[in-house]
Amino acid sequence: MRKASWIRSPHCSGRLGGDIGAARGDGKSMTKKTIRTMEELAREIDVSRPTLSRYFHDPSSVRERTRAKIETRLATVDYVPNFFAVNLNRKRTRLIGVVIPHLNDIFQTNLINSVEFAAGQSDYKIIVQNSHNDPQREVAAVETLRSMNADGILISPLGQASDTAMLRRAEAQLPVMLIDSRAAEGAGGFDFVGNDNGQSIGLLVDYLVRSGHDPVFLPMPPVNMSALERTEAFRAAMARHGQVGEVLETGGNGYDWNFEAYGKDVMSAFFAAGRYTRATVLCASDRIAMGALKAAHDFGLFPRGKIGDFRIAGHDNDVLTRFLHPGLTTVEQDVPRIAREAVEILLRRIESPRKKGEAPVSRSIPARLVLRESA
């Protein structure tokens, strides 16, 4: 059976998709006849139902003249095949399921866009599910994608909160791969591509230490394993400088993914107590830094609009970060590469599943330092 699904987007490459797209794209009138079923379509085109079916599974399997006839007439009608019927007995749906933990997050949306682009390069579509930082909804998201016969799943998991057994059961059916954040300690065995937090936090610590006061670390709420990794990376980097890194005590559990509110509230409380107003605060993400910046402005830590003793840095270089004031020093995650390599590995697993005992792939992608005014 031909692997390429012919229901793909008109703008995609690929013979048939392209033809349908071109026909539809210019169809600015309502004159096209709407066709509902394959039977109707076969009658309309004047070919047999089996021939039409063969054509859709593999256009080269019908005679050249028949194909030309089908394609010419297809362009004159409005027919959208039933995805369920087409995919019911297919080996491949050419769908990649993507599970993310929080949608109101410009890093996650950028990741989704990058995964969609990378998948599209191989003529795959994505279906996104939001786990809403809820272990039960994470289970439901994976089950929905399994029920839709996604060919594989990319998940940014909740870490210690995830039902890892569920992920393993899913993996018995289809490749399940982690992106952006890892599974909990001891829940190894999954392929992974994400940022190299050791390297990226190291870059920031090295820069901050050599350019001013030693930084303190404002950690992420413990929403996933990246949160823990970045804190450990900070401690390790400070240790390389012969220092014990100070990690701020935030009690940040209640904020979940509301990072801006967390950054603002936590730092406002410190500033109100006169603490850290002349510190260098390394934030575990730009979104946290956005909230901390707001607190710093509220407390007048940038006299005359300039940077004073208070310095701040972030992590990610989100698409909004360059619009913060003062400009935020940060590290940029290589999101396009993370997405590209994740899709590449997943597609390989779809073609040939990991063998028993074969070690999972684990790729940590380096980030680059972005210097702006804030530190």
Residues of span 190-249 touching a second copy by CB under 8 A? none
Under the criterion CB under 8 A, does residue 11 sit at the interface with a second copy? yes
CA distance 151 to 94: 6
Contacting a second copy within 248-287 (CB under 8 A): 260, 264
**Exposure letters 162-183 (e unless 16+ CB within 10 A, then b):** bebebbeebbeebbbbbbbbbb
For residue 240, the minimal CB distance to a second copy (Å) is 33
8 Å CB contact between 208 and 214: yes
Please say which residue, 234 or 255, places its beta carbon nearer to a second copy.
Answer: 255
Q: Is 75 in the site for a second copy (CB under 8 A)?
A: no
Residues 161, 164: Cα–Cα separation, whole Å = 9
3-state DSSP helix/strand/coil percent for the chain, to nearest 5? 45, 15, 40
Residue 184, token pair as written in the block = 């909990």
Does 184 contact a second copy by CB under 8 A? no
Binds a second copy by CB under 8 A, chosen from 3, 13, 15, 34 = 34
Q: In 249-269, which positions are buried (b, 16+ CB within 10 angstroms) versus exposed (e)?
A: ebebeebbbbbbbbbbbbbbe
Query: Strands 33-35 and 95-100: what pairing?
Result: unpaired
Which residue of 40, 78, 332, 344 would you call a contact of a second copy, by CB under 8 A?
Answer: 78
Integer Cα distance of 315 and 196 in angstroms: 12
Residue 38 interacting with a second copy (CB under 8 A): no
Question: Residue 233 Cβ, how far from a second copy at the closest point, in Å?
Answer: 26
Q: From the CB of 93, what's the least distance to a second copy, in Å? A: 8
Q: For residue 221, say if its preceding peptide bond is cis, omega within 30 degrees of 0.
A: no
Interacting residue with a second copy among 166, 209, 247, 361 (CB under 8 A): 166
Among residues 39, 49, 72, 80, the one that binds a second copy under rule CB under 8 A: 80
The reply on whether position 55 binds a second copy by CB under 8 A is: no
If one asks whether residue 1 binds a second copy (CB under 8 A), the answer comes out as no
**Could you say which residues in the range 145-164 bind a second copy, by CB under 8 A?**
146-149, 163-164
* 335 lies in the site for a second copy, by CB under 8 A: no
Nearer to a second copy, 25 or 212 (CB): 25
Q: Does 2 bind a second copy (CB under 8 A)?
A: no
Bridge partner residues of 154 (DSSP)? 98, 177
The pairing of strands 152-155 and 95-100 is parallel
Binding to a second copy, residues 84-143 (CB under 8 A): 84-88, 103-106, 109-110, 112-113, 116, 125, 127-128, 130, 134-137, 139-141, 143
Report CA 247 to chain centroid distance, whole Å: 28
Stretch of 40-48, 53-61, 314-322, 361-369 contacting a second copy, by CB under 8 A? 314-322
The residue count for the chain: 375
